[in-house]
Structure 1
Amino acid sequence: MKKLLFSLSLFALTISIQAQEYDFQTIIDIDATPVISQGNTGTCWSFSTSSFLESEIIRKTGKFIDISEMYTVRNVYPKKIDNYITRKGKTQFGEGGLAHDVINSIKEYGIVPNDVFSPEQTKQEYDHSELFRVLKSTLDAYTSSRNTISNNWKPITEFILDTYIGKNITEFTYEGKKYTPQTFMDMLGIKADDYITITSFKNQAYYTPFILNIPDNFSNGSLYNLPLDEYIANIDNALDKGYTLSLDCDVSEITFNAKNGIAFIPSSKDDNSKGLTEIVEEKTITEESRLQDFYSYQTQDDHLMHIIGKVKDQKGNIYYKVKNSWGNNTERIGNDGYIYMSTAYMKLKSISVLLHKEALQKQTLKNLNIK
């Protein structure tokens, strides 16, 4: 009996050693503004990249400034509308977008602080469900016409955007000084041409830009293509040098869990639930498996977020600290609104990252011929 009890105790000890709940330690934690919620909108692209720009402003000036996500959304919508109308509705029209849409917008329209342009700031959260229904039905009424259409869609859609988001501004006062959106951006030291997007797709030529055909790339923005290991190495290099990144990735996996604040790719599907709270063995991700997931629609352009650092678990496994825009309600959101994303998840499920060109490795800059 004593022998049996000893064996059972040894077995229980072995199980407890193997089943290790996550115990994270910070490796890199770059300054960022507080986690906020995009509400009931499909504008994660603006929230994530605005958050990224806010960290850039902190890096450059030391100032923590809340910039307006909706100012950018307001300026991007007319471009989406024009694209949809001129293509007679034969293209994507949605709330989504990509990080380069924010960069394109600030290059043309500048930046404004949130307290200057936040038409819904008195509400509990943003809600664009009615805006999108009204806008889409208006556009479809025009694009479904067999006859030549008038240019009335321009003032009508502008009126809709003014009503639901707000009228654009050309001048404002901030901390006692007058600015235009462009001079405000200049004061912050932000230059749109400093930012590029990198990715990794084996079917495209490496070290050249290409247009990734995903639904939300309505503006046909180009991404620089890198080998997978070099893509990840440049993400690491950026963080090591104190730069953050705007991330586009797939969040449809059940192993991406906001409540637990974790994202991982287990070797076995049997560990899908276990890995939410405990360390599990993960898959080895290759360029081939990454491309296969993309073409089988297992990896899609779902959501944009903001990479601000790294953590590690007690076994030394590395995770990226990713700022989300789903709020920080502790009852349904873990890690204070952040996701700890494993390296395997980043390799397999990230679509691309936007970063400052100076955050790239020197050899990558040379390979891409970026100056």
Structure 2
Amino acid sequence: MLRYSPVKDQGISPLCWMYAMLATIETEHIMMGDSVNLSADYVARNFLSEQARCHFLSSGYDRVTLHGTAPQLLRLLNEYGVMPYDSYNHPGLNYDALAKRVVMLSNASTDMSKLEEQCQRIFDERIGALPRKVYMLGAEYTPEEFAHSVYMQGEYTALTSFSHHPFGESFALEVPDNYSDELFYNVPIDVLMKRIERSLRAGHPVCWEGDTSEAGFSFKDGIATLGDNSTPCSQQQRQKAFETRQTTDDHCMCLIGIAHDQNGQRYYIAKNSWGTANPYGGLMYLSEDYVRMKTVALVVKNINM
């Protein structure tokens, strides 16, 4: 199993995509010997600031939402940078309530500069005042400089596997949270599964996005299975489940390892962001058939395979 930073708790906020992609970057660097623990609150604050501007300038047409997909986190890092967790964090904050407050301020505002001032005041009160600089190991960084020390543009690729688009091409995945039209490279499911295994065995985590609404998914028990499936699902079965909404884009986690049970059944170990109150300290074991059937998308490190 790959080494990982402390398991966090996203609370009632729908920010799993931030937590999972940040966890992926953290483990990537921890496996190289770096001590990295990143702030989701810093990214969320800038994300809400950005949306306040868009909501105002579009006269409310662009909605304020905390939903997103893992590749969007990478875009936010490029745009706004990032901070260490210890420099900026507010566990348990109700971001849904904060987003509603942003909408109210935007709807009542007639001046964007004043709106931005109001939002920053609210964010300072609710999340905390932003540090001007990042200090790590005796060095001083701006958030942008710090982000470039942990992530370089083009370092990761987003993958998916659905047959309503050609394989070997990228497309904007049609799931509700991909309102920013992030592109995912489309590959057959066998290729996708091999990429997960090869990445993990090479010491690289995988950001996983998929369906967690199945009866066999239990955070309390720390396990996700599909039941007594004796044969792997086909590409056609995956496609039908997606098109009939039996497979939905519900949640993001970071895959950090491979395990086997007493019967030789393979499981992928996932670092969740729902706290540590389960038998595995917040980790989960996803069966291979579950991952094969219920994966919607991945973000993987670009490495030579």
Asked if Structure 1 and Structure 2 have the same fold, meaning a TM-score greater than 0.5 normalized by the shorter chain, the answer is: yes
User: How far apart in 2 are the matches of 1:49 and 1:259?
Assistant: 23
Q: CA offset at residue 303 of structure 1?
A: 0.9
Q: 1:186 to 1:236 in 2, by over 3 A?
A: same
Q: Any conservation in 1 of the 2:48–2:99 contact (CA below 8 Å)?
A: no
Cα displacement string for residues 154-193 of structure 1 (whole angstroms, at most 9, x for unaligned residues): 44444433433344444232333211123323444x3132
Cα displacement string for residues 281-308 of structure 1 (whole angstroms, at most 9, x for unaligned residues): 4563121221222222222221111000
Q: Any conservation in 2 of the 1:92–1:216 contact (CA below 8 Å)?
A: no
Partner of 2:101: 134
User: How far apart in 2 are the matches of 1:347 and 1:84?
Assistant: 38
Cα displacement string for residues 299-321 of structure 1 (whole angstroms, at most 9, x for unaligned residues): 22211110000111122111100
Partner of 2:178: 217
User: How far apart in 1 are the matches of 2:103 and 2:231?
Assistant: 42
Partner of 1:284: 232
Q: Any conservation in 2 of the 1:48–1:324 contact (CA below 8 Å)?
A: yes
Q: 1:286 to 1:91 in 2, by over 3 A?
A: farther
User: Equivalences for 1:18-33 in 2 at 5 Å?
Assistant: 29-33=1-5
Q: 1:91 to 1:173 in 2, by over 3 A?
A: closer
- Given residue 229 of structure 1, which amino acid in structure 2 is its aligned partner? D
- Given residue 115 of structure 1, which amino acid in structure 2 is its aligned partner? D
Q: Any conservation in 1 of the 2:134–2:146 contact (CA below 8 Å)?
A: no
- Say whether 1:43 aligns with 2:26: no
Q: Any conservation in 2 of the 1:49–1:306 contact (CA below 8 Å)?
A: yes
Q: CA offset at residue 352 of structure 1?
A: 0.6
Greater Cα offset, 159-168 or 202-211: 159-168
TM-score (norm 1): 0.75
- Say whether 1:352 aligns with 2:297: yes
- Say whether 1:255 aligns with 2:227: no
Name structure 2 gaps, 5 residues minimum.
none
Q: CA offset at residue 49 of structure 1?
A: 1.0
Q: 1:261 to 1:84 in 2, by over 3 A?
A: same
Name the larger-Rg structure: 1
Q: 1:140 to 1:295 in 2, by over 3 A?
A: farther
Q: 1:109 to 1:353 in 2, by over 3 A?
A: same
User: How far apart in 1 are the matches of 2:106 and 2:226?
Assistant: 41
- Say whether 1:321 aligns with 2:257: no
Cα displacement string for residues 206-246 of structure 1 (whole angstroms, at most 9, x for unaligned residues): 11111012221132211100011111111111111111011
TM-score (norm 2): 0.90
SS of the residue aligned with 1:193? coil
SS of the residue aligned with 2:303? helix
Q: 1:59 to 1:200 in 2, by over 3 A?
A: same
Partner of 2:203: 242
Name structure 1 gaps, 5 residues minimum.
1-28, 143-148, 267-279, 362-371
Partner of 1:21: none
- RMSD, aligned CA: 2.3
Aligned residues: 304
